[in-house]
Structure 1
């Protein structure tokens, strides 16, 4: 039996600047914005498509939104859905909802009507804020759910002149303009805020017990579930992140906000952390490589949290050498494994440090990260954050296993959720004696660095052998022709399952299946080598860049190869 968790062996690997334990403020998450706006009122809080908003103004508009919700009858504990891309409205509505003790329900703007209906019905949300372009979708879902109030905003609401005039004209030209009806229960965001006071409004909450957020899991492995996160969960994770970034200077950093704020990674490591550190958020509503490169050169962000697919897209841009990216100092990669080749090339181009971290929605989300300015280990998710316990256990018995052996990663932290919304049985399956069962297979070394081998559900069993997709994908990424790769197991009458690789090639480079097969056979045991290859121009992904393996398996099923 390993004594890793009892001895907290990872603490000896901590940078000397990072405390082993932290005294967390027991406050509402909204208090972070109030404190920062009080201390740094004239600092830029948000940069959005040419528009700058200072912290004083951000807080005032947040108060106005909170008053608006109150005027609609929204009260403490009610659920308010936010269905917006990265924008000032996304930040204002988030903190405004929290100001009155209501619960935020983050909603993906790309959801289909069916997905939106499930989330609205499941959460019981009665109020939603969304874009004018998305109004028709929300209007169709309204009679099928508990929705009573629809607040409609537009990208132009925060565009500077003359963009605010040209934007609607471009929509009309492209036949995308949506006329919002003047009907009961539909409110125009800009008009709503105008008539509200900028005075303080804050409903008292119990940070440890009251729900700040219902964050729905991505649904990459099935029907999405609402994760119950308290104010204390979310404040704690932001504070942990702040201590991990010990070289950052309060009030001086500039965060590149390309991760969607409605995703738990972007919400915590871009929005909440930025607010807590009085940083400026450079918000990007949609990730486009050239736009992001130009934005980095012009606005000089210092911190860039992202997903591997974002870094892959940037380093493969043919003109990346023409951009000055030297302002970047630190990057945390999450949501999917970071290939070593990508890490090395990105650092060479930018001079920034990029480290891999790990988390899950059920933990607010970050539990592990490599030290940014200290010893990191390639392929590792790093060390547990302060006040976070982690161990690797036998999935069958729950007993901790020897260092170096593969088992399920389980964690215990003040950031761990209260449970799943209205799903007590599923809650009991993953929360046991205070430990969260992550469903990820991992190992830990003698210095306390953890390594994710793969998701328990993604493991492929071929001919009796356990195959972890990440092992195969890492090798494929090393091939000079491969830009992206994902591996899945598909049924095989002889082996039970067999390995299939989906490949996206780098632009202008070709490779044959035979060449890939030969390459894999020199780097992998024979049973791990893919038996099938399929070349794609792109892979199905969530907005944060996580490949939807389930979507690939469903495609296989439709082809008649599964089922």
Structure 2
């Protein structure tokens, strides 16, 4: 038996935290139905000045499901959701499940090429989208040959707002496209009976969630009803959140973190879900002051933006007693700065789209250690019923050595949608290959050093971008940094750094190269530095190194 099979992390679980999860519901839809039965008049969604109760949310999603079924939507069909953090997202998600179908998530930030790919790949029969996005992009996409969508519903982010917030909606108007069905009108006119809901099996696909996986090629993870139910309850039981405590949706709902760590968590907690359309630090701060949420999970970039908002201090976020940080690495020095400026400790959470969000979390009451050699902050301990092994060439490495993390557990997806080759490569009999490189210390804490695809090979020496980035961010003028490989006639590869500076400071490229040279081995320090205004990131805050490699 290897050290990983003995699961040393269990000894680090705080007293009272169960070692395994007894799942209450086989699907998120069942958790939602239980919330409706228990407290139909209680708040389910708070969106600016509007509140939707559990019964109203039930009614609205019934309307969508009834329409879909009436138009031939069959079990297993896909409803594409192209929305921001709006009530319409939750209504559409539930409507798809009540109709026996699958919710296919599409980023509302997608351009025409990306939307064309998503529609061709998912082959949805119905689509629910923002009205402005439909008019500006989606209508043209659906006019192309081979389109499978025959039902289009649109919603305005202004729906339910007594007075639209000018910081997000200055000059915006509700479009109400005439060639689509308006969600608000559909719900208002609905007075029929919902379709007979056949409870889905836990192993049936509930959501198609886009992921770059380990290869960077577009693909969708098939998340099942059971995997989503497991991890929604994992968030609840691991954190110790109490029923009814409001949940703030900071991460995008079209990403697995926002889906599971906000929407589905609210279902199992029977808690109000606080939505703000999209992230704007001032808007989010006002929502926290108004609705007093107890929990949120967000990328580090969101916390940095909140800390940088003028006049913000610990009192503004006092209700947020649990703050999780995931989606991108959390440097220790940044974590310390945010804690000092906003109060409250950031608990790391780690997982993939393919794992329905968390596989590792830092338990409440504990602080993540910093690895003494790599300087990386731990991503936490494996959560309930989750096994993790660190492998090199397919074999477990000794404790403290670096390799690829392989994860198994009930939250892991069965594979990728219509991608048998990629499924066979990533989802093996031994577990899911994460593509992340890291290690486990003797106490069972895990550390993610980098992506395996980001490794730089300089004359046979391994260079992990994170290590170079960490040195750069310790320079007083550097706000953030990203390191990628460049071709080198002598070494094969060398490092190139992109650096964004702190406001009001200055540093030259030569100065930063020399700063690193004094602190790093000769094969590690960057041969080139480019100062940029900001680093490219995804909507969830992940650094897009691929965009930098192409520059």
Is 1:356 the counterpart of 2:356? The answer is no
What SS class does the counterpart of residue 181 from structure 2 fall into? strand
Is 1:180 the counterpart of 2:177? The answer is yes
Instruction: State the shift of 1:479 in Å.
Output: 2.2
Task: Return the match for 2:286 from 282, 294, 300.
Answer: 294
Instruction: State the shift of 1:441 in Å.
Output: 0.8
**Alpha-carbon distance change, 218 to 158 in structure 1, aligned in 2, over 3 angstroms:** farther
Instruction: State the shift of 1:386 in Å.
Output: 0.6
What SS class does the counterpart of residue 381 from structure 1 fall into? coil
Is 1:368 the counterpart of 2:360? The answer is yes
**Alpha-carbon distance change, 165 to 375 in structure 1, aligned in 2, over 3 angstroms:** closer
TM-score, structure 2 as length reference? 0.93
Counterpart position of 1:259: 251
Distance 1:157 1:211 in 2: 30
Task: Return the match for 1:453 from 449, 454, 464.
Answer: 449
Contact 1:26–1:207 under 8 Å retained in 2: no
Distance 1:83 1:220 in 2: 24
Is 1:143 the counterpart of 2:143? The answer is yes
Instruction: State the shift of 1:207 in Å.
Output: 2.5
* 1:159-198 superposed matches below 5 A: 159-160=161-162, 162-163=163-164, 170-171=171-172, 178=175, 180-182=177-179, 186-197=180-191
Instruction: State the shift of 1:229 in Å.
Output: 1.2
CA RMSD in angstroms comes to: 2.2
Distance 2:531 2:231 in 1: 39
Count of aligned residue pairs for this structure pair: 542
Counterpart position of 1:383: 381
Counterpart position of 2:48: 49
Task: Return the match for 1:203 from 167, 172, 197.
Answer: 197
Is 1:305 the counterpart of 2:297? The answer is yes
Q: Deviations over 1:102-156 (max 9, x none)?
A: 0000000011111111111111111100111011311111133211111111112
Counterpart position of 1:401: 397
Distance 1:235 1:459 in 2: 35
Instruction: State the shift of 1:26 in Å.
Output: 5.0
What SS class does the counterpart of residue 146 from structure 1 fall into? coil
Is 1:537 the counterpart of 2:520? The answer is no
* Deviation larger for 476-485 or 330-339: 476-485
Q: Deviations over 1:228-286 (max 9, x none)?
A: 1110010011111111112x2111x2222121000011111111112211222211222
Q: Where do 5+ consecutive residues of structure 1 fail to align?
A: 556-563
Counterpart position of 1:250: 243
Q: Where do 5+ consecutive residues of structure 2 fail to align?
A: 371-376
**Alpha-carbon distance change, 28 to 323 in structure 1, aligned in 2, over 3 angstroms:** closer
Contact 1:541–1:547 under 8 Å retained in 2: yes
Q: Deviations over 1:456-478 (max 9, x none)?
A: 10111112111111112222222
Contact 1:274–1:280 under 8 Å retained in 2: yes
What SS class does the counterpart of residue 526 from structure 1 fall into? coil
* Deviation larger for 133-142 or 214-223: 214-223
Counterpart position of 1:234: 228
Counterpart position of 2:67: 68
Distance 1:552 1:194 in 2: 48
Contact 1:307–1:335 under 8 Å retained in 2: yes
Q: Deviations over 1:153-194 (max 9, x none)?
A: 11122212x44999999336xxxx746234xxx212122222
Counterpart position of 2:373: none
Is 1:77 the counterpart of 2:76? The answer is yes
* Deviation larger for 195-204 or 456-465: 195-204
Counterpart position of 2:94: 95
Q: Deviations over 1:438-458 (max 9, x none)?
A: 111111011111111111101
Contact 2:214–2:435 under 8 Å retained in 1: no
**Alpha-carbon distance change, 294 to 191 in structure 1, aligned in 2, over 3 angstroms:** closer
Distance 2:165 2:504 in 1: 39
Distance 2:499 2:529 in 1: 7
What SS class does the counterpart of residue 297 from structure 2 fall into? coil
Counterpart position of 2:390: 392
